[in-house]
Every structure is written in structure tokens, then in C-alpha cells.
């Protein structure tokens, strides 16, 4: 079973102080001195450990028990508080001396209070600077820290090779800072199902609950990944852990440093699909690989570059593209501005096109929380833009009004409305703007005829209030 919320904390590893004695595989001898066989990661750990922190998040949740709605049961149990505080433990890495800390999104999801505990046991409150659910990353800022904090330097995760030694540091099960080591077991894992960008580093360094958001580092002490999940049947480490590559982390941190509340990534303007064995056979490929262009949005970067449906993308800036996930990751880690060289095969002919690296167009979303007595009470809706559609995994060309959030315990939740539902019409009135839905909801009524679009399928329901 995959546990996407059980994550390891990697730690930066510096250069070894002891040089390995190179020898032919057949050259076996007794060590010349007691120090010769002694190898240690201690100098590296001592140097990088101060930059790994613990992250504590608290969130208030409402506990609803239907029995307490009945006066008969309340007379026995008395007044029962409905709000409880949940706490979660994770890890983080200081990436800027002013106190910027990167951790996993799922560590602080829904948190009303976040605290940072340094390696020297000092504790600080923290502000949330940027949340990026799509990559499962969040950037925090330490409050009240008037000092220069120790940091980890970013490494180039694309330079990692299977077999490289890596270290991980974290606070598994809350027992205190712990260091583990292992190797890079695999690269570009795309079938993990943790976040939108499936391109994970796999390692056998021991990762356990409580390590989410920590650093995976190479033997030069550079941050090469943020550990985010383990594959486990028991809930503990079984030698299969996954880390978000540092090159993706770098993009999120750069957005936070630039003052943006959201990560700005390039937009391709095309839908890609996986190459199956049948498709590969029809294209004359030796094996299924690449990303097949399924459709192209008019006027988008792909269209202007000349991409067409049926094109097979095989590389980007010289890096091979094995599947759509690999393309999404590599394209998303490109900085805005300039262009990317996309290699493709069209009708058996290899060619390269330059795709502009530009962000998704965004228009005013006019986000509104519905408060009128209606089936939508508790839902938050917004006008769709290409940028918002992309965030919600919808076709960027989709127009209309979309549900962006549903409050826990609200009528909208109990009726089954979901984030990403597009409200097509209410009581036979077309919903073109979020203000249209607010107006109709505030008007009240006993009969509601609602049509929504969910995943490309239209659903119509009749409700009585």
C-alpha cells in the first residue's frame, strides 16, 4: 500500500573526509593502519544537520456526531465540544538564510498554526508564504528570527544516477533527529500517484512517518530531493521511498522568493497521451515511449510552434521524454521566458520545434463563497480561466463557473458537490459568471434543477428544499 503522507526527511551530505582506497577487485590485503578502513558520514551530517528542521502544524476540525443533535442523547452526554485540534509532525529544510523553509504541502494542509523547531531545539512560529498542492510543496518563513540561518545548497537532481549514495535526516515517529543512508534505487518514477508531477527519485534510505518534507542529499552535501512518500505494507520503512527532485523544489522556492503567492509555470497548450503498445506498433516504434499529442489549443504556445495532433514528442532540450509525466515535469521546471526545443516525430520524420515558455493566461476569477440558502450553501465558486482550469486538471479551453472548494459539513458537501464541478445551469438559467450563481442562490426557493459537468459528463438533478 502506498502511503503518500508518510515521508522521509533527507539531509544534506557533505564530502567525505576519508578518501576511499582504490584497488583492483583482485587486490585483497590487510589494512596498513587502524584508520584505513574507517569511513564516516559524520563530518557531512555535522555540517548540514542545522539546516533540517521539524515542522509542527495544528488545525481545528469539527467533529459531528449525529446523536448529539438529538436532545434525548444530549441530556446524558451534556454539552460536547464539536471542535478539536489535530496536530501533525513533519520536517523541512532551510533554503534561504533569511528563514525560508520548504516542506511538503500535505504536512501543513489546512493548518491554522505552524511552528518550526530548529536542530538546536529553539522554536519559532512560521508564516505560510506559498502553497503548491500540485507539487506537494510549501514554503514557510520563520517569524521573529533576526539572524542568518544555516541553509542547504541546491544540487542538480538531473545529474543523479542510479546507485549514487544519498543520506536522509528526519524525526521519524517523533523520536528525534535521525540520519539514514542508502542509494538512489531508481529515477523518474511516474506511477506513484502522489502529486500532479510524477517524476520521483526512489531511494532505499530508511524513511518513516514523521519525516515528510525533509531533505535527500548527495555526498557533496547538496539538496537533491524532498522526501515525500513511502511504499509500505506495514506503515514503516520497507526500503522504497520517493523524493521530489530538487529541480522542481527550486522552481517553487524561486516563486516564493519572487513574492508570488502561486507558482508560475510554462503552459504548453496541448493535451498529451501515453503511448500504448498498440499505438507504438501503429507508429512503427520498437517500444512504447514518448508523449503523443492528442489535441492542440488554438492560439497557445504549442499551436504557434506548429505542433499538431498525432505528433510524438520524444525530447525537450535534449532530455529524453519517456511518457507524458516526464514531459510535464521537464516542461514545468523550465523558467518562464525564452523557449524550449521540443524534439518530435511526425509521420516518421524527426524534427525540432521551439515552444515559447510563457505562463497560462489568467483573468479575474471573482471567487465567491455561496451563503444563500440553497444546495450550494458552503461551496466556493469562481470564473474559469485557462490558469484556473489547469490548476483543477480541466481543459484550459473550458469556460463557465467552477466549484473551487466545498466546506466540511455544509449542505453542498452533503449533496455531493465536488471541487472541479462546473455549474452549467440552475433552474434552467445558464450560469456564465460566479455572480450569476450567487444571485440565484440568494433568491432561495423550494425546487432546484441543477446541471453540472463533472469530468466531461453532464449530470442533472432535481432537489426539493
Grid coordinates representing 323?
511518457
The Cα-based distances of 380 to 250, 262, 365, 383, 407 in angstroms read 31, 19, 11, 11, 8
Residues 138/131, Cβ–Cβ less than 8 Å: yes
Indicate whether 37 pLDDT > 90.
no
Q: Which CATH architecture has domain 270-356?
A: Roll (2.30)
Q: How many CB atoms lie within 10 A of CB 451?
A: 16
Classified by CATH at the fold level, domain 368-464 comes out as: Pdz3 Domain (2.30.42)
Domain spans of the chain?
A: 1-24+33-262, 270-356, 368-464
Distance CA 15, CA 150 (A): 17
pLDDT at 18: 34
Local structure of 87: helix, strand or coil: strand
Indicate whether 17 pLDDT > 50.
no
Mean pLDDT (the chain) is 82
Mention every residue, 6+ apart, whose C-beta is less than 8 A from residue 144: 124, 125
Q: Each residue of 407-450: pLDDT tens digit?
A: 988 888 888 899 999 999 998 889 989 998 899 888 877 788 99
pLDDT at 350: 93
Residues 354/302, Cβ–Cβ less than 8 Å: no
Q: Each residue of 363-376: pLDDT tens digit?
A: 788 899 988 888 88
Q: How many CB atoms lie within 10 A of CB 368?
A: 19
- DSSP 8-state class, residue 414: H
From the number of C-beta atoms within 10 Å of its C-beta (0-12, 13-18, 19+), residue 287 rates as: exposed
The H-or-E segment that residue 255 falls in is helix 246-257
Residues 138/105, Cβ–Cβ less than 8 Å: yes
Tell me what the mean pLDDT of segment 22-48 comes to: 70
The H-or-E segment that residue 463 falls in is strand 457-464
Indicate whether 406 pLDDT > 70.
yes
Which range has the worst mean pLDDT, 22-36, 278-292, 415-429?
Answer: 22-36
Q: Which CATH architecture has domain 1-24+33-262?
A: Beta Barrel (2.40)
Q: What residue spans of 49-196 are helical by DSSP H? A: 71-77, 105-108
Report, as residue numbers or ranges, the catalytic residues: 106, 136, 212
- Sign of the C-alpha dihedral, residues 267, 106, 240, 168? positive
Q: Do domains 1-24+33-262 and 270-356 have the same CATH topology?
A: no
Q: Each residue of 151-203: pLDDT tens digit?
A: 999 999 989 999 899 999 877 777 777 888 889 888 877 666 666 777 888 88
- Residues forming beta bridges with residue 59, ordered by sequence position: 86
Q: How many CB atoms lie within 10 A of CB 255?
A: 19
Grid coordinates representing 18?
576519508
Tell me what the mean pLDDT of segment 146-154 comes to: 92
Amino acid at each position: 500500500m502506498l502511503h503518500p503522507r508518510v515521508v522521509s526527511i533527507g539531509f544534506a551530505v557533505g564530502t567525505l573526509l576519508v578518501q576511499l582506497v582504490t584497488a583492483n577487485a583482485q587486490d585483497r590485503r590487510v589494512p596498513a593502519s587502524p584508520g584505513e578502513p574507517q569511513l564516516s558520514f559524520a563530518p557531512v551530517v555535522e555540517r548540514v544537520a542545522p539546516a533540517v528542521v521539524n515542522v509542527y502544524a495544528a488545525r481545528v476540525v469539527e467533529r459531528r456526531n449525529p446523536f448529539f443533535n438529538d436532545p434525548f442523547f444530549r441530556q446524558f452526554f451534556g454539552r460536547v465540544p464539536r471542535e478539536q485540534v489535530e496536530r501533525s509532525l513533519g520536517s523541512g529544510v532551510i533554503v534561504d538564510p533569511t528563514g525560508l523553509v520548504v516542506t511538503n504541502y500535505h504536512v501543513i494542509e489546512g493548518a491554522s498554526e505552524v511552528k518550526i523547531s530548529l536542530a538546536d531545539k529553539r522554536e519559532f512560529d512560521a508564516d505560510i508564504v506559498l502553497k503548491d498542492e500540485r507539487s506537494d510543496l510549501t514554503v514557510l518563513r520563520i517569524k521573529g528570527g533576526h539572524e542568518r540561518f544555516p541553509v542547504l545548497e541546491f544540487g542538480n537532481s538531473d545529474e543523479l544516477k542510479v546507485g549514487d549514495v544519498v543520506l536522509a535526516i528526519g524525526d521519524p515517529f517523533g523520536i528525534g533527529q535521525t540520519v539514514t543512508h542508502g542509494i538512489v534505487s531508481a529515477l523518474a518514477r511516474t506511477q506513484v500517484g502522489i502529486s500532479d508531477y510524477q517524476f520521483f527519485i526512489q531511494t532505499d534510505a530508511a524513511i518513516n512517518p514523521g519525516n515528510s518534507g525533509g531533505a535527500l542529499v548527495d555526498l557533496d552535501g547538496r539538496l537533491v530531493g524532498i522526501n515525500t512518500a513511502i511504499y509500505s505494507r506495514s506503515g514503516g520503512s520497507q526500503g522504497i521511498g520517493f523524493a521530489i527532485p530538487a529541480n522542481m523544489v527550486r522552481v517553487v522556492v524561486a516563486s516564493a522568493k519572487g513574492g508570488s503567492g502561486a507558482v508560475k509555470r510554462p503552459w504548453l497548450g496541448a493535451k498529451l497521451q501515453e503511448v500504448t503498445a498498440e499505438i507504438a506498433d501503429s507508429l512503427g516504434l520498437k517500444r512504447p515511449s514518448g508523449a503523443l499529442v492528442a489535441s492542440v489549443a488554438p492560439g497557445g504556445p504549442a499551436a504557434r510552434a506548429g505542433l499538431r495532433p498525432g505528433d510524438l514528442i520524444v525530447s525537450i532540450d535534449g532530455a529524453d521524454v519517456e511518457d507524458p509525466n516526464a514531459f510535464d515535469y521537464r516542461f514545468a521546471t523550465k523558467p518562464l521566458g525564452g523557449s524550449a526545443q521540443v524534439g518530435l516525430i511526425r509521420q516518421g520524420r524527426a524534427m525540432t520545434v521551439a515552444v515559447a515558455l510563457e505562463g497560462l493566461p489568467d483573468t479575474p476569477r471573482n471567487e465567491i463563497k455561496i451563503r444563500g440558502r440553497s444546495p450550494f450553501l458552503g461551496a466556493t465558486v469562481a470564473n474559469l480561466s485557462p490558469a484556473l482550469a489547469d490548476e483543477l486538471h480541466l481543459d484550459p479551453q473550458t469556460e463557465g463557473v467552477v466549484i473551487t472548494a466545498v466546506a466540511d459539513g455544509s449542505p453542498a458537501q452533503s449533496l455531493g458537490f465536488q471541487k472541479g464541478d462546473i455549474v452549467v445551469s440552475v433552474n434552467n438559467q445558464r450560469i456564465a459568471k460566479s455572480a450569476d450563481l450567487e444571485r440565484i442562490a440568494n433568491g432561495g426557493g423550494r425546487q432546484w434543477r441543477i446541471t453540472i459537468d463533472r469530468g466531461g459528463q453532464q449530470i442533472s438533478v432535481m432537489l426539493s428544499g
